[in-house]
Amino acid sequence: MLSGLVVALRAKVFEKVNGDNAITVPNDQVGPDRFEELYGHPAANGRSKGAGLSDLFWYWLSPGPEVHQEHLEAGPRYDDVARTTRGFLAGPGDELFDAATRCTRHVLDEVLTGPVTRVRLRDLMMPVWAEYFYELVFGEPCPRAARDLIVAHADDVVTSLKCTGLRHPARRARLTRYLAGRLADVRHPLPRTLSEPEQVHYLQGTYFNTAVVQMSEAMAHLLLALAQHPDVAKRIGDDRYFAHVLDETFRLYPLFGIAHRITTADIQLDEHTTFPAGSVLCFDYPAYHATGYANPDEFDPGRWEHTATRREHHIPFGVATNRPCPAWRLAPIIMRAATREVLRRVTLHSSASHTRSLPNRGPCLLVRDGSVPHRQLTRMRIRDRWEDVWRSVVQLVLGTVMVLHAHRLKPAKRYFDTQGCPARH
Ligand code: HEM
């Protein structure tokens, strides 16, 4: 109850401070049936310039947000960066799968010491993906010191994004310095339109922030859902069924709450619906994913046995015509590998709450002998509910502090003010 109130209050604070006249869809004007049409409109393509909201994202995702692919405006620099990322993430499926299995095994070997191990799933997965993306970038096994730097950085980003902690620029800068010294060892060509310091930020932002954070969150959702649906977990060995479970996890727990775009020209959807240039459009993933389904709040992988995702309201990686996620092929492959490896070694149990934003990081018990730890599950439930109360207050206070700080620093606005012509970027 209190946490719900606090979340609503936090949303209000964000809205007020950012000062954008944001339009969130689906709404009465643009229903779910026209959601993708608006999202995919050629003029719904501004990323950062002209929205107060961008200052907040740049603040959270620094250093170097101006060269993060997701924040670059359309143009040759964006094309160069997007092409580079596609090259990094390509590769034969079995090699990508094997590398993810190896990294998961390595981390589990360290973590699984007793019959029952208590973890937070997001924290469990972070070192796995730190090792994985280090290998992808440098083509060699990840040294422990580098893994610690990557995890410290990615954890700092996601903790501040969820407002459960403040950001620590010095912690992030340690990874920047490390990467600056390793630029010559990167095994793929880097974007030529970026300077060397920008290339360092590109690596840091794409592989050691976005990739590690998103994969850890996605795996936390998947493993938590399996922990709470043992019948589903039992069938996960079947590849087809695994794909349904993943589709359902992505539907119910999309990693993006909202993705925004700034319109670069007027958009006229029909005679009554026009969005002038400069409108901030917010695409609400959970709301869209909840329309068009029977019992949308229920976790039901079986629903995908009778229909295909392309026919439904299902866009976990964004829309194909407007800057979709470049990891749409890679992510399911490596999630299957990591899930197989975890379930080969342990059974999962959790009594914690499972929400889309997952601020509790997915408390879970990893059990090696197949028993059910009833008493520990009772303790987990009580602790999780209590934590939720104080965490909501922390999120409100820290969220407000960071929103105000970002508003004062205005990183995106200052950048665009000094750039003059945005077409150059
Ligand atoms: C299951 C895991 C993931 C999910 C569900 C996911 C989801 C998304 C979504 C929905 C978008 C589009 C948002 C928008 O329209 O603004 C996006 C964009 C992006 N994602 Fe992912 N992502 C995942 C993993 C990754 C990974 C592993 C990488 C690693 C490089 C990555 C890199 C990016 C980038 C660079 C963009 C911006 C694309 C552009 O603007 O051109 N994502 N992601």
Domains of the chain by start residue, with CATH: 2-417 (1.10.630.10)
| Closest ligand 1 atom, residue 322 Cα | 15
Give the CB-side neighbour count of residue 383, counting CA atoms within 13 A: 12
Residue bearing the CA closest to ligand 1, atom 29: 211
The pLDDT confidence band at residue 22, using thresholds 50, 70 and 90, is confident
Output the CA 361–ligand 1 centroid distance in Å. 20
DSSP state of 76: H
Percent share of the chain, pLDDT over 70 = 94
Q: Name the H helices within 118-210.
A: 121-138, 144-161, 169-180, 196-205
| Distance separating alpha carbons of residues 358 and 354, to the nearest angstrom | 6
DSSP track, 327-362: TTTHHHHHHHHHHHHHHHH-EEE--S---SS-TT--
- Give the closest residue (by CA) to ligand 1 atom 17: 325
Which percentage of the chain shows pLDDT scores above 90? 90
Compute, in angstroms, the gap from residue 317 CA to the centroid of ligand 1.
Answer: 6
Q: Give the mean pLDDT of 374-380.
A: 98
pLDDT at 15: 64
At 109, is the pLDDT very low, low, confident or very high (cuts 50, 70, 90)?
Answer: very high
- Ligand 1 center to residue 314 CA distance, Å? 15
Task: Please state the atom number of ligand 1 nearest to the C-alpha of residue 256.
Answer: 10
CB neighbours of residue 381 within 10 Å: 15
Q: In 10 A of CB 316, how many CB atoms?
A: 22
- pTM greater than the 0.75 cutoff: yes
Write the pLDDT tens digit of every residue in 228-273: 999 999 999 999 999 999 999 999 999 999 899 999 999 999 998 9
Of residues 19, 34, 26, 20, the one with CA closest to residue 268: 34
**Exposure class string for 389-425: b at 16+ Cβ within 10 A, else e:** eebbeebbebbbebbeebbeebbbbebbeeeeeeeeb
Q: Which atom number of ligand 1 is nearest to the Cα of residue 69?
A: 35
Residue 348 in tokens? 């999962």
For residue 52, pLDDT over 90 is answered with no
Measured in angstroms, how far is the CA atom of residue 1 from the centroid of ligand 1?
32
Element (H, E) at 282: strand 280-284
Atom number, ligand 1, closest to the C-alpha of residue 315: 10
For residue 17, pLDDT beyond 90? no
* Residue 386 CA, ligand 1 centroid: distance in Å: 33
What's the rounded mean pLDDT across residues 206-235? 98
Distance between CA atoms of residues 263 and 42, nearest Å? 9
Using the structure block, give the residue that is written with the tokens 């280090």: 134
- Quote the Cα angle for 394-395-400, to 5°: 105
pLDDT at 423: 45
Give dist(CA 363, CA 402) in Å, integer.
Answer: 26
pLDDT at 420: 60
Residue 152 pLDDT class (50, 70, 90 cuts): very high
Q: Answer yes or no: are the C-beta atoms of 205 and 61 closer than 8 Å.
A: yes
Mean pLDDT of 349-362: 97
pLDDT of 422: 47
Q: Give the DSSP per-residue string, 229-248.
A: -HHHHHTTTSHHHHHHHHHH
384-402 average pLDDT score: 94
Residue 160 reports pLDDT greater than 60: yes
Instruction: Name the residue of 53, 204, 309, 325 whose CB sits within 8 Å of the most ligand 1 atoms, as the mutation to test its pocket.
Output: 325
Helices 2-18 and 52-60, axial angle in degrees (round to 10): 120
Q: What is the DSSP string of 283-325?
A: EEHHHHHTSSSSSTTS--GGGGGSS-GGGSS--TT--TTS---
Q: Which residues does a 6 A CB cutoff place in the pocket of ligand 1?
A: 69-70, 82, 85, 89, 206, 210-211, 214-215, 218, 255-256, 259, 316-318, 323-327, 331
End-to-end CA distance of the chain: 45
Question: What's the pLDDT at 50?
Answer: 87
**pLDDT (0 to 100) of residue 304:** 97
For the segment 324-335, the average pLDDT, to the nearest whole number, is: 98
C-alpha to C-alpha distance for 13 and 15, rounded to whole angstroms: 5
224 closest CA partner among 387, 314, 105, 359: 359
pLDDT in the model for residue 353: 97
Helix then strand then coil, % of the chain, to nearest 5: 60, 10, 30
Quote the ligand 1 centre to 173 CA distance (angstroms).
Answer: 23
Ligand 1 atom at minimal distance to the Cα of residue 318: 10
Rounded Cα–Cα distance for residues 301 and 245 (Å): 5
* Integer angstrom CA distances of residue 357 from 258, 336, 394: 11, 22, 15
- Taking the centre of ligand 1 as the mean of its atom positions, its distance from the CA of residue 118, in whole angstroms, is 30
Task: Return mean pLDDT, the chain.
Answer: 94
Model confidence band, residue 4 (pLDDT cutoffs 50, 70, 90)? low
pLDDT value, residue 425: 39
The DSSP output letter for 277 is T
Confidence category of residue 354, pLDDT binned at 50, 70, 90? very high
Q: H/E element holding 383?
A: helix 374-409
* Ligand 1 centroid distance, CA of 378 (Å): 36
Report the nearest-CA residue for atom 20 of ligand 1. 325
Identify the residue whose C-alpha is closest to ligand 1 atom 26. Answer: 211
Query: Per-residue pLDDT for 1 more than 80?
Result: no
Q: How far is the CA of 211 from the centre of ligand 1 (A)?
A: 8
pLDDT of 51 reads: 87
d(CA 129, CA 147): 9
